Chain A
């Protein structure tokens, strides 16, 4: 044994926790819609604002969003960023353009990747359309 060992001051101890998620009634309806190529939002019972993906209740009115609304696959870019920094949890190839998109008929934006045009052409206010992967790759659970 070496006599002159450095004292241990730091150790790295990775922690792993596995969860089993249940989407719940509202998210399940949205995910099953994706499986059929549909974008299903839900309108607030009180103010009528349309949420997508729906979370089951409207945070403004604190009432359920029970009216299902099938939304168009077209929308408008509200804002965007081009990400050039890696992150352990993100599988998308760098750099990528992530945009907040307000679908026609929705009252809240969704985040989507803009991959079909050069970054420098992406603008706030630009009209965009959902481009779906081949149907065989549709996996709404995103596993």
Chain B
């Protein structure tokens, strides 16, 4: 059996369209310092650093982990960089956790970031491939057809996505770090926003954000000695599948179904909807909430939309989802997965402030990336498993 590991410190930057006041090193350091302060630790207490971000093409900085080593106190320590596309923030946290669970290190700092103001993700995701006509316009161009496929097979009401966007944008008002703060948000405002990649409307889409998220993950000895609230890592899991293969269900990827089923088994969870108190999941386009509710076994296939529709995923529902406002409200791409994992940890540590779910004891963090092909997830609890 692996060693127990727990999140003992969390730091986030304010997410914003342009953090012109900091460089990339300054951005990651801001989150890292906050995580260390939250953990009551200093740089010298950290054994290793694990960093993640989305493709290098975004900012055009090749191997950014090299030039960020000093800013993250990585000099003279093991430093790893993780990359699994949009799910990278989650898989980075899992790599950091595994170093502690394996007994290799006692306290690991993990950080994920993106500085979209220094990049052009739409361009980087629509690279003209040789011998083919370029037609897939960025992430929205790739995911819009999958959403339409889901709408067709589930028969979900057409305003399901608008309802998700309204909920997440309202939740963001309770999160001081959220990028988009829209106090006057309304159903009609979302419904009337321009169609970008039909059926995805502008206000059903995530923003482009600058930001970083950091966590300190410690072994049981240090966690108990710290005397601070901890998010004990009950289980982690990752699964991958190719972007394209004959018979692939891109709407409901098998890798995601398998990943979550295995995760629950590892965490001793039999009925996820009943046993998990809240979840932070990767929803960059509104419709992915109902789709992932099914992929995560919270709802039967083709019925995920009912959870949104009935208010189950609202902050006062029976299965709150994205209390922080989610990716729809802050999308520093490389950080987005880690923010989900960190927000889940914040809930069981009771430190989520205005968007805290009262008495949350068990929470799910989820991220996906690529063409719905990389999945990373964890379950954290207020007590060790």
Chain A residues at the B interface, C-beta cutoff of 8 Å: 9-10, 15, 19, 21, 23, 27, 31, 44, 47, 49-51, 58-60, 78-85, 87-92, 96, 98-100, 107-108, 111, 113, 119, 124, 140-142
B130 at the interface (CB under 8 A from A): yes
The answer to whether B152 touches A124, judged by C-beta atoms less than 8 angstroms apart, is yes
The answer to whether B131 touches A27, judged by C-beta atoms less than 8 angstroms apart, is yes
B352 at the interface (CB under 8 A from A): no
Closest to A52 in B: B246
Residues of B contacting A23 in the complex (Cβ-Cβ under 8 angstroms): 130-131
Closest to A60 in B: B245
Q: Could you pull out 24 A-B pairs where Cβ atoms are within 8 angstroms?
A: A10-B118, A21-B130, A23-B130, A47-B246, A59-B244, A59-B245, A79-B148, A79-B149, A80-B145, A81-B141, A81-B144, A83-B135, A84-B198, A85-B122, A87-B123, A87-B138, A89-B126, A90-B126, A90-B135, A98-B135, A107-B247, A108-B248, A113-B135, A142-B131
User: Which bracket fits the contact residues of B?
Assistant: 35 or more
Extra A-B contacts (15), CB below 8 Å, given A49-B246, A81-B198, A141-B130: A15-B60, A23-B131, A47-B246, A81-B199, A85-B138, A85-B141, A87-B137, A87-B138, A89-B128, A92-B134, A92-B135, A108-B246, A108-B247, A113-B135, A124-B148
Residues of B contacting A44 in the complex (Cβ-Cβ under 8 angstroms): 246
- Distance, CA A78 to CA B248, complexed state (A): 12
Interface of A is mostly: loop
- Distance, CA A23 to CA B132, complexed state (A): 11
Interface of B is mostly: loop
**What's the least CB distance linking B59 to chain A, in Å?**
11
Q: Which 4 A-B pairs have the closest CB atoms?
A: A107-B246, A81-B144, A49-B246, A82-B198
The answer to whether A85 touches B197, judged by C-beta atoms less than 8 angstroms apart, is yes
Enumerate B50-82 residues with CB–CB distance to A below 8 Å.
Answer: 60
Residues of B contacting A107 in the complex (Cβ-Cβ under 8 angstroms): 246-247
The answer to whether A50 touches B246, judged by C-beta atoms less than 8 angstroms apart, is yes
B242 at the interface (CB under 8 A from A): yes
The answer to whether B149 touches A78, judged by C-beta atoms less than 8 angstroms apart, is yes
B185 at the interface (CB under 8 A from A): no
Interface string of B99-136 (1 = CB under 8 A from A): 00000000000000000001010110011101111111
